[in-house]
A and B are shown apart, each in its own frame.
Chain A
Amino acid sequence: MRLIVNGTTHEVDAEDRMPLLWVLRDILGLHGTKYGCGIAQCGACTVWLGGEAVRSCQTALGDVDQPVTTIEGLGAPGALHAVQQAWVTHQVAQCGYCQSGQIMQAAALLAATPAPTDSEIDDAMQGNLCRCGTYPRIRAAIHAAAAKLKEG
């Protein structure tokens, strides 16, 4: 099975029904994508398939027909994506475990809706659970990232 992840092509020998999440983590060694629930209830495993945010725990390897982007492909510590920069500036993270998924979901939202309202943010982000309760800062950081992206 051929898989393109963050622009790199991989040959993966695994079951078609193996979730993309575990292919990323345990076979490709990309640990930024997190396991939280395994049933698409928490969003910690959110990645992009093409440009769409999907739950990688519910995406079978055999169904991956587009390039995959993970948090590692969005930006890196020395080269932050605007959403990541806003996350850092607003000190969004507490434990941080859900934030890869939050950021991938937020970046997908901003790609589709460059200036989201609070209600659009709530709609887009409600599948991403945070038990530390970072939601108020997630809202603020998304607005800040939207403003930044608009500036260019």
Chain B
Amino acid sequence: MPRTGRIARRTFLVGSALVGGGLAFGIWRYLTPGPNPLKAGLKAGQAALTPYVLIAPGGITVIAPRAAMGQGAQSALALLLAEEMDLDWDRVAVAHGPPSATYYNGAVLAEGLPFAPTDRSTQAELAREAGDVLAKFLGLQITGGSSSIPDGFDKMRRAGAAARAVMLQAAAARSGQPLEALRTGASAVILPGGGRIPYTALIAEAAGIDPPADPPLKPRGDWRLIGREVPRKGMVARSTGTELYGIDMVLPGMAYATVRRAPQLGAGVDRIDMTRARAARGVRKVVEIPGGFAVIADNTWRAFQAADLVEVTWAPAAYPATTEAMFAEVAGSFTADRRDSRFTDVGDVDAMLRQDVPGEARGKEGGGQEGAVQQGELIAAEYRAPYLAHAPMEPMNATAWLKDGHLTIWAGCQVPLYAASAAAKAAGVPPEAVTLHVLPMGGSFGRRLEDDFIAQAAQVARAVPGVPVKMTWSREEDMTHDFCRPLGMARGRGRVARGKVVAMDLAIAAPSTTASQMGRLGLPSVGPDTAIVAGAWDQPFAIPARRVTGYRVPEMAPVSSWRSVGASLNGFFHEGVMAELIHAAGADPLAERLRLVDDDASRRVLEAVGELSAWGRADLPKGWGRGLAFTLSFGVPVAEVVDVEATAAGIALRRVYIAANLGVVVDPRNVEAQMTGGAIWGLGHAMGAEITFDGGAIEQGNFDSYPFLRINQCPVFHTRALEMGDRVHGIGEPCVPPAAPALAAAIFAATGKRLRQMPFSKEVDFA
């Protein structure tokens, strides 16, 4: 790996708190296990063996305290516990459980560290451990960053093993048999004679037994659930319309509300007249809330209708009013005073990129394209990526009930403790007077890392004390009030010589998602934001002269984490420039990456995608083109090959091959689904989606103006998940970043057109 800079002289962001500051709280608290949040809510006859196992006469519930938003993490976490506890998988129930600091996520901060995933130095490992400590101090119960499995892999298995040990002790006490003579299987303790005591019959004995702190775990060879094709939880509910999402919440006497806020994000109301809305059928109340107004009615549709009758003038936005002006701000940010990071600076890049250094050029593309300046063997290109909306299929919603000074909320949420605290503030009640029930989500993709809509529901509930109220956003409100994936630009330069890539200089400018998010939480942000350069600075390619510089663009519109975060832009930027360099060198895209790669798992992933796609051996039909890209993000190296066909109707996506290394594949069918789904996410947005601003407002309001890949555009997939190395990784995000550059490379191969800005529909048509 390239040297990653001088950590001692840098501060850096991890959740915007300094690791050093976090450590000062004292190591003793870190070593003390968190209290068991299940104890408070136990009903008669139930036992909470650990914070993760609730056992009742009717069955066993595994607490998988991460949000269910389609990524399959809850089921996989429960599977890990069920493996060690020897549960009968078909009869295991899974629940999110109550929000609690006990359920902190110790892995989520790792991606924000200025250490490449491939960096296993003592310094890097200490920083990761410090991230875990800090997450515990912050009580950071959060679902995101593809971290549920890395965080839960040991935690859930240990919880299962500890619960199993309690069951064994309870059965020994009950049966009078020695512990060593007992075995477990299918949610029961098995006695020497073959008799069985179901776990659910041991509740009384178990209640008095403390679980062991560090129980032994099964050797891998004994796994019977992990890595097997077991049924994912929730499939029947999600195939019968019986899953209860936040938007489906119903309470007796419930009112239905919607809100409208200033389309100029963060602005407020200038003038408002609610008279007509108040007179509309079914309307109970129309009230101002911070930044807008709420309509409370007797059904959602009447609330939507009445909201259209409110006459309102909004204040102007505090940021540039148009996309053009915003991109001008980005373009003007490649300056010394906005330089945010240079984590990678290998070799003498400046010397290598001087005009007068002799070199050799081969196989250069035709010139004349906008953005491309060719200077002999030097390559220079400018890349762009737009703002993007999360737009999960289920629009933002939350149900809130303020009754006798207590606020109860039901909502989909990735940050339940932060959300509960925001809701308390919004409703004017103390934090301990809030109960938040986290419900399954119809997608999220990072959107519900924000708690704006939950605070709003609390504000609405405050207007009708004693009445439960479900607040639902219209799709238009959802899309125009997103915290977008930031826009960004990259300027890449490089040199090729003797058929090889010898120098690459990538400058990236984008607003900081971390600073924007932390600002909303009222937390300071110090030091560089790795998200600005993630997926670029940390790539495992030993180009002799190599530099990645991040520039921080002022915030402008608020921005947030969008599936794969910084790598969603930078995978495209890095691999786009890489593709141009390899092409200029006249080298083979796979062979040249294999020559440069300096990480074993990454090499194997590249080789695997080569095998899968029969790279170099496939006889593509006329008019077809094949592209390859690679991104290492969230610790997962991913290589994707895309085959397209240039048809009369436009570019058609035909086949996609994906290889990734996860360390351990916990749930293979879900892993495949995340690999294909991640690639579709990357492809679908690269093809046609962008969020643009005019008058300070987002111009796209619905899926007609914010298109996404449809089934008739969907290619055929071939995937391979590798299990190399000693670390377990998550797969929700890493397959997103290489999809766009692989598609761009395929389109270049098919048509000769080099795409340097997303969405590609600006320059090519898709079938």
A positions within 8 Å CB-CB of B: 15, 18-19, 22, 25-27, 29, 31-39, 41-42, 44, 70-72, 75-77, 80, 84, 87-88, 91-100, 103, 121-123, 125-126, 128-139
Chain A contacts of B243 at CB under 8 A? 96
Partner of B238, one of A15, A76, A99: A99
Does B213 count as interface, using CB distance less than 8 angstroms?
Answer: no
**B residues near A99, Cβ cutoff 8 Å:** 238-239
CB distance from B447 to the nearest CB of A (A): 11
Question: For residue A75, which residues in chain B have a CB less than 8 angstroms away from its CB?
Answer: 240
Report yes or no: A95 in contact with B392, Cβ–Cβ below 8 A.
yes
Q: Which of B149-157, B158-166, B672-680, B756-764 contacts the other chain? A: B672-680
Query: By the criterion CB–CB under 8 Å, are A96 and B238 in contact?
Result: yes
Distance to closest chain B CB from A44 (angstroms): 6
Q: Quick one: closest A residue to B247, CB to CB?
A: A35
State whether B711 touches A135 (Cβ < 8 A): yes
Alpha-carbon separation in the docked complex, A94 to B475 (Å): 21
Contacts of B242 in A (CB 8 A): 32, 72, 76-77
Contacts of A76 in B (CB 8 A): 240, 242
Q: Which residues of A contact B143 (CB under 8 A)?
A: none
Interface residues on B, range: 35 or more
Contact present for A31 and B393 (CB under 8 Å) = no
Partner of A91 from the list B231, B394, B472, B681 (CB cut-off 8 Å) is B231
Bound Cα distance A99, B703 (Å): 17
Give the nearest-CB partner of A119 in chain B.
B712
Contact A25 B300 (CB under 8 A): yes
Q: Is B71 an interface residue (CB 8 A)?
A: yes
The reply to whether B442 and A34 contact each other, CB–CB distance below 8 Å, is: yes
- CB contacts (< 8 Å) of A94 on chain B: these are 70-72, 443, 673, 677
- Cα of A42 to Cα of B478 in the assembled complex, Å: 15
Task: Tell me the chain B residues, 661-680 only, with Cβ under 8 Å from chain A.
Answer: 669-670, 673, 676-680
Answer whether A33 and B717 are a contact pair too, CB < 8 Å, given A88-B235, A131-B443: no
Sample (15) of A-B pairs whose CB atoms are under 8 Å apart: A34-B393, A35-B395, A38-B475, A71-B240, A71-B241, A72-B241, A76-B242, A84-B239, A91-B669, A95-B238, A95-B440, A96-B70, A99-B238, A125-B712, A129-B710
Bound Cα distance A138, B673 (Å): 12
Q: Do A37 and B703 contact each other (CB < 8 Å), given the known contacts A75-B240, A94-B673?
A: yes
Give the shortest distance, in Å, between A110 (CB) and chain B (any CB): 15
Considering the complex, give the chain A residue whose CB is closest to the CB of B71.
A94
Contact A22 B300 (CB under 8 A): yes
Interface centre among A32, A71, A133, A134 (most CB of B within 10 A): A133
Contact indicator B301/A18 (Cβ below 8 Å): yes
Output the least CB separation between A73 and chain B (Å).
10
B50-86 interface mask toward A, CB cutoff 8 Å, 1 = contact, 0 = none?
0000000000000000001111100000000000000
Residue B391 is within 8 A (CB to CB) of chain A in the complex: yes
- Within the assembled complex, what's the spacing in Å between the Cα atoms of A146 and B241? 21
B445 within 8 A of A: yes
Q: Residue B677 contacts which of A27, A33, A96, A132 (CB distance < 8 angstroms)?
A: A132
* Contact partners of A70 in chain B: CB under 8 A: 241
Q: How far is the CB of A125 from chain B (nearest CB, A)?
A: 5
With A97-B393, A131-B708, A133-B681 already in contact, the answer to whether A87 and B235 are too (CB < 8 A) is yes
Given contacts A77-B236, A95-B442, A132-B70, contact A32 B677 (CB under 8 A): no
Cβ-closest chain B residue relative to A44: B393
Q: Which residue on chain A has the smallest CB distance to residue B677?
A: A133
The answer to whether A80 and B241 touch across the interface, beta carbons within 8 angstroms, is no
Q: Which B residues touch A26, using CB under 8 A?
A: 256, 299-301
Whether a CB of chain A sits under 8 angstroms from the CB of B637 is no
A136 in contact with B716 (CB, 8 Å)? yes
Instruction: Tell me if B393 and A98 are in contact (CB < 8 A).
Output: yes
- Min Cβ gap A103→B in Å is 6
Top 6 closest A-B pairs, CB basis? A32-B241, A96-B238, A97-B442, A95-B70, A133-B680, A71-B241
Whether B234 pairs with A139 at a CB distance below 8 angstroms is: no
Query: Which residues of the partner chain A approach B440 to less than 8 Å between Cβ atoms?
Result: 95-96
A80 CB contact (under 8 Å) in B240, B394, B670, B717: B240
B232 beta carbon closer than 8 Å to chain A: yes
Task: Tell me the nearest residue of chain B to A41, going by C-beta.
Answer: B703
**Given A94-B72, A94-B677, A136-B717, A129-B239 contact (CB < 8 Å):** no
A91 touches B677 (CB 8 A): no
Give the chain B neighbours of A97 by CB distance below 8 A. Answer: 70, 245, 392-394, 441-443
Q: Are A122 and B392 in contact (CB under 8 A)?
A: no
Partner of A27, one of B68, B240, B299, B441: B299
Complex CA gap A29/B240 in Å reads: 15
| B429 interface hit (Cβ, 8 Å) | no
Beyond known contacts A31-B244, A39-B703, A91-B670: 18 more, CB 8 A cutoff = A18-B301, A22-B299, A26-B299, A26-B300, A33-B241, A36-B393, A39-B702, A41-B704, A77-B240, A77-B242, A80-B240, A95-B440, A96-B442, A125-B712, A129-B703, A133-B676, A133-B709, A134-B673
Contacts of B392 in A (CB 8 A): 95, 97, 131
Task: Select A15's contact among B281, B472, B714, beta carbons within 8 Å.
Answer: B281
Q: How far is the CB of A9 from chain B (nearest CB, A)?
A: 20
Q: Which residue of B lies closest to A75 (CB)?
A: B240
Question: Nearest residue in B to A104 (C-beta to C-beta)?
Answer: B241
Closest B residue to A84 by CB, please name it: B239
A22-B301, A41-B703 given; A95·B711 CB < 8 A: no
Which residues of chain A have C-beta atoms less than 8 A from B237's C-beta? 77, 96
Beta-carbon nearest neighbor of A30 in chain B: B241
List the A residue with the shortest CB-CB distance to B716. A136
In the complex, B564 has a CB within 8 A of chain A: no
Determine the distance from Cα of A25 to Cα of B254 in the docked complex, in whole angstroms: 13
Closest to A100 in B: B241
Residues 628-679 of B at the A interface (beta carbon under 8 Å): 669-670, 673, 676-679
Nearest neighbor of B239 in chain A, beta-carbon distance = A87
Contact indicator A95/B443 (Cβ below 8 Å): yes
Least Cβ–Cβ distance between A133 and chain B, in angstroms: 3
B709 CB contacts on chain A under 8 angstroms: 133, 135
Residues of B within 8 A of A131 (CB): 391-393, 443, 445, 681, 684, 708
- Kindly list chain B residues whose C-beta atoms are within 8 Å of the C-beta of A71: 240-241
CB of A137, distance to nearest CB on chain B (Å): 7
Docked CA distance A121–B475 (Å): 27
Q: Looking at A32, A44, A88, which has the most chain B CB atoms within 10 Å of its CB? A: A88
Q: How far is the CA of A35 from the CA of B258 in the complex (A)?
A: 14
